[in-house]
């Protein structure tokens, strides 16, 4: 099937041609960095020769570089550039870096204006501060482009946590910049896509020459129709799998109604092909490609769909205004990333029954695999570059060149078996990032009981990683210590066989993983200070936890910042907050029924909130300041328009700034 065979009115709205594409279409994003190396991710519109020059105090730093490049389309090349310094960096060094590109004829590509656009303080190029000791960091998750705030319904713009982070850097001296940007999940929403975003994605697919994709030679469905002739705006749930194998999963919903395997109630525009996933990442990370998109309402929508499209369009237009800021902050802070469910699909691997259904059908298996390929290329690759050797990159390239063919499916099978998405950055404290999605502890009682977020082997490996460390920054996408009432509601739904209805995937939902995790904190060689960074839940809070009965209990802090651009229903959260305080007060006997009954859990109070309030709603980014022992000295949620809310353990703490 050729482009000419399938082109229709949707093609007319690409504003320009590839001749006018900018050389850099996304990035640079600073990824894993240490004393002897720095890693950069970027996407270009041609197969340029890439060189990154690093300077310290105006002097070129002697270094070698390795460039790994993957061709994604006719006009899209994604590269990971690793700089190896000949001598070690010193703490506090500010490293300027500049990008040079040369075309196939060796001609240099002018980039002066581009360099200034991604720089702070009128600098001629971007840079970063080498900070092996983490004195402060920013963190968050859940960045949904078309989110609209319920807290302030009079505005369509709820802000963007990455733009808030950019404002922090722009108004802070370099020496005081946070050391890391930790992104703990849902960097994209593959299962919850606005109509204007999906329309833009299809224009970018054509603009960059990304490939079409079939399911299988003997399968009647063909994904290539989704890019051109049959995009199925707002109706994609109609082609999601509905097989007899999935009936047991579907029956958990509404009296056996025929529901698709994918359980999201917002799957009307679910991304399906790898090209759609790739275009989505480019559009949420960079402003460059939006200039080539026409968001005029596409033809063929019903009156109701047109109304929905216009409503979503307002939020998408506001989202675009923050992208220059988002790109800039990611170019200056080392970015640590980890997937959560929406990076792939809602309820990803929540139960063994879900897994059996989803991986047992070629369409759902391909959709999950394509999202996982996208995660590797845009996120996982830069977390631990040495983990992916040349042979792995070659197999990825083969899968890209032959979409829908055996090389593609074989590579997806390899990704499904891969069990090393977790990683450690040897900072001080060490950053230990958990994979809570692909190594799950499946229930032995029922296919439809929630799986544990990590299995026994993974938790044992984690314990070995933590032994003899003085302090640790532990990144768990879902909070380890969450809101007890919400977890209790999830447990009730699980009792009635409906865990998928309430996303019952907290750490306490599976007895085995819960008890193994609690015992980990009691290990005699466990770190003295645990700072757990989480997101996922669309509200923010902080707890201090100690183990009962231990003479030298570790100090544990659960710090949750969510979301970058998402919020919990405000009135509902207020009621949950209130009832949680009443039902699970320190004197309440209900605490004895929880798996955390061996812990003292003291909630922090958000500043300038009503009496007793513990949970903070509002899109933004978390800022955590650490003392010399790795314990939090200040916990703050930064909100749009310069607002900030600090969390205090008690009224006495308010005197400390």
Query: For residue 197, which of 143, 140, 266, 276 has the smallest C-alpha distance?
Result: 276
Residue 9 is predicted with a pLDDT of: 40
Looking at residue 254, its pLDDT comes to 33
Residue 252 has pLDDT above 50, yes or no: no
Query: What confidence category does residue 594 fall into, taking pLDDT thresholds of 50, 70 and 90?
Result: confident
pLDDT at 266 (0 to 100): 76
- Tell me the DSSP string of 328-389: HHHHHS-EEE---GGGT-TTTT-BHHHHHHHTTSHHHHHHHHHHHHHHIIIIIHHHSGGGS-
- The answer to whether the CB of 475 falls within 8 A of the CB of 435 is no
Write down which residue in 85, 112, 131 finishes a domain.
131
Q: Are 204 and 283 in contact (CB under 8 A)?
A: yes
Task: Express each pLDDT in 93-122 by its tens digit.
Answer: 999 999 999 998 999 999 999 999 999 988
The residue segments making up the domain with residue 565 are 422-616+648-656
pLDDT tens-digit series, residues 343-370: 999 889 988 888 988 998 888 899 999 9
Does residue 471 lie within any of the structural domains? Answer: yes
**Measured CA distances, 70 to 44, 167, 204, 339, 531 (Å):** 10, 33, 18, 21, 36
Is residue 327 very low, low, confident or very high in pLDDT (cuts 50, 70, 90)? Answer: very high
Q: How far is CA 524 from the centre of its chain?
A: 33
Which token pair is 180?
Answer: 């890391």
Q: How far apart are CA 616 and CA 583, in angstroms?
A: 19
pLDDT at position 404 over 90 = no
Q: Could you check whether the bond before residue 563 is cis, i.e. omega within 30 degrees of 0?
A: yes
**What does each C-alpha distance from 311 to 152, 283, 314, 318 come to in angstroms?**
16, 19, 6, 12
Under 8 Å between Cβ of 626 and 572:
no
Tell me 453's DSSP state.
S
Per the structure block, which two tokens stand in for 243?
A: 């097989």
Closest CA to 323 of 349, 293, 351, 299: 293
Q: Is residue 327 part of a domain?
A: no
Burial 16-29 (b: 16+ CB within 10 A, else e): eebeebbbbbbbbb
- Say if 118 falls within a structural domain: yes
Give a yes or no: residue 184 inside a domain.
no
59 three-state secondary structure: strand
The predicted pLDDT at position 196 comes to 97
- Which residue from 363, 284, 351, 368 is spatially nearest to 322, judged by alpha carbons? 284
| Residue length of the chain | 657
Whether 300 shows a pLDDT value over 50: the answer reads: yes
This prediction's pTM = 0.92
Q: Name the CA dihedral angle for 371, 410, 402, 347, rounded to a multiple of 10 degrees.
A: -20
Residue 396 is assigned to a structural domain of this protein:
no
User: For position 56, which CATH number holds?
Assistant: 2.60.40
Tokens read off for 486: 């919400």
Q: Side by side, which strands form the sheet with 63-73?
A: 24-34, 37-44, 76-85, 63-73
What is the separation, in whole angstroms, between the first and last Cα of the chain?
64
SS3 435: coil
| 605-647 per-position pLDDT tens digit | 999 777 678 999 999 999 999 999 999 999 999 999 999 999 9
Mean pLDDT of 407-412: 94
What pLDDT does residue 580 have?
82
Residue the block writes with tokens 């988002």: 326
> 108 phi and psi, to 5 degrees?
-75, 140
The encoded tokens of residue 415 equal: 């990704």
Domain membership of residue 271 (yes or no) is no
pLDDT in tens, 477-497: 999 998 877 766 655 555 545
pLDDT, averaged across the chain: 87
- Residue 643 makes CB contacts below 8 A (sequence gap 6+) with none
Work out the average pLDDT over 283-304: 95
Band of pLDDT at residue 261, cut at 50, 70 and 90: low
Residue 285 pLDDT > 90 = yes
CA-based nearest residue to 346, from 271, 247, 242, 254 = 271
Nearest to 453 by CA among 474, 430, 426: 474
Which of 131, 147, 181 is the C-terminal boundary of a domain? 131
436 with 476: CB under 8 angstroms?
Answer: yes
pLDDT of res. 246: 42
Q: Strand pairing partners for 648?
A: 605
Give residue 549's pLDDT: 77
Share of the chain above pLDDT 90, in %: 65
What CA–CA distance (Å, rounded) separates 331 from 346? 29
In a domain, 268, yes or no: no
What is the rounded CA–CA span in Å between residue 429 and residue 470?
8
Task: Say whether pLDDT at 22 is over 80.
Answer: yes
- Gap between the Cα atoms of 57 and 93, Å rounded: 9
Q: Which of 171, 473, 464, 436 is nearest to 336 (CA)?
A: 473
DSSP 3-state percent helix, strand, coil across the chain (nearest 5): 35, 20, 40
How far is the C-alpha of 243 from the C-alpha of 535, rounded, in Å?
33
Number of domains in the chain: 2
Query: What tokens does 332 get?
Result: 């200056």
> Can you give the pLDDT at residue 240?
77
Could you tell me the two tokens for 499?
Answer: 């865990």
CB-based contact 280:4 (threshold 8 Å) = no
**Domain closes at, from 115, 131, 147:** 131
């Amino acid at each position: 099937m050729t482009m000419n065979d399938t082109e229709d009115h949707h093609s007319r709205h690409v504003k320009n041609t590839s001749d006018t594409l900018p050389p850099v279409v996304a990035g640079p994003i600073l990824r894993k960095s240490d004393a002897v190396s720095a890693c950069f991710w970027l996407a270009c519109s041609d197969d340029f020769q890439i060189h990154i020059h690093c300077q310290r105090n105006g002097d070129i730093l002697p270094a070698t570089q390795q460039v790994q490049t993957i061709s994604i389309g006719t006009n899209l090349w994604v590269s990971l550039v690793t700089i190896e310094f000949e001598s070690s960096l010193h703490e506090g060094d500010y490293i300027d870096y500049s990008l040079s590109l040369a075309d196939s004829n060796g001609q240099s590509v002018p980039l002066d204006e581009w360099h200034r656009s991604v720089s702070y303080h009128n600098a001629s190029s971007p840079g970063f501060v080498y900070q092996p000791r983490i004195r402060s960091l920013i963190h968050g998750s859940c960045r949904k482009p078309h989110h609209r705030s319920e807290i302030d319904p009079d505005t369509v713009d709820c802000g963007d946590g990455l733009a808030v982070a950019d404002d922090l850097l722009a108004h802070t001296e370099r020496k005081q910049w946070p050391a890391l940007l930790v992104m703990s999940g849902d960097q994209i929403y593959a299962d919850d896509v606005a109509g204007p975003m999906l329309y833009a994605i299809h224009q970018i697919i054509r603009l960059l020459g990304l490939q079409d994709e079939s399911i299988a030679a003997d399968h009647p469905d063909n994904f290539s129709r989704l890019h051109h002739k049959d995009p199925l705006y707002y109706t994609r749930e109609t082609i999601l799998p509905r097989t007899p194998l999935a009936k047991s999963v579907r029956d958990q919903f509404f009296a056996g109604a025929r529901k698709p395997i994918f359980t999201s109630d917002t799957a009307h525009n679910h991304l399906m092909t790898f090209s759609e996933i790739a275009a989505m990442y480019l559009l949420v990370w960079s402003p460059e490609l939006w200039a080539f998109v026409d968001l005029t309402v596409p033809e063929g929508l019903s009156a109701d769909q047109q109304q929905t499209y216009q409503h979503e369009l307002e939020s998408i237009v506001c989202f675009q205004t923050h992208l220059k800021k988002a790109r800039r902050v990611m170019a200056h802070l080392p970015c640590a990333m980890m997937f959560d469910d929406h990076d792939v699909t809602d309820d990803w691997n929540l139960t063994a029954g879900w897994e059996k259904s989803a991986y047992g059908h070629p369409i759902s298996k391909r959709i999950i695999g394509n999202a996982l390929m996208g995660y590797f290329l845009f996120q996982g690759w830069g977390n631990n570059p040495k983990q992916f050797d040349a042979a792995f990159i070659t197999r990825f390239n083969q899968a890209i060149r032959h979409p829908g063919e055996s090389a593609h499916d074989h590579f997806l099978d390899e990704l499904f078996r891969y069990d090393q998405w977790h990683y450690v950055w040897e900072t001080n404290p060490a950053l230990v990032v958990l994979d809570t999605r692909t190594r799950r502890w499946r229930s032995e009682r029922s296919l439809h009981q929630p799986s544990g977020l990590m299995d026994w082997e993974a938790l044992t490996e984690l314990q070995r990683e933590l032994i003899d460390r003085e302090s640790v920054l532990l990144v768990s996408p879902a909070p380890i210590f969450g809101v007890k009432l919400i977890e209790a509601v999830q447990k009730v739904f699980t009792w009635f066989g409906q865990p998928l209805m309430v996303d019952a995937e907290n750490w306490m939902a599976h007895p085995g993983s819960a008890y193994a995790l609690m015992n980990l904190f009691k290990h005699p060689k466990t770190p003295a200070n645990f700072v757990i960074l989480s997101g996922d839940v669309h509200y923010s809070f902080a707890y201090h936890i100690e183990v009962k009965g231990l003479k030298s209990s570790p100090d544990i802090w659960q710090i949750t910042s969510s979301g970058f651009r998402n919020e919990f229903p405000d009135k509902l959260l207020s009621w949950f907050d209130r009832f949680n305080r009443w039902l699970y007060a320190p004197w309440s006997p209900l605490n004895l029924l929880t798996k955390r009954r061996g812990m003292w859990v003291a909630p922090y109070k958000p500043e300038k909130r009503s009496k007793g309030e513990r949970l903070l709603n509002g899109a933004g980014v978390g800022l955590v300041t650490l003392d010399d022992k790795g314990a939090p000295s200040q916990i703050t949620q930064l909100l749009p328009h310069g607002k900030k809310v600090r969390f205090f353990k008690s009224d006495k703490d308010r005197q400390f700034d």
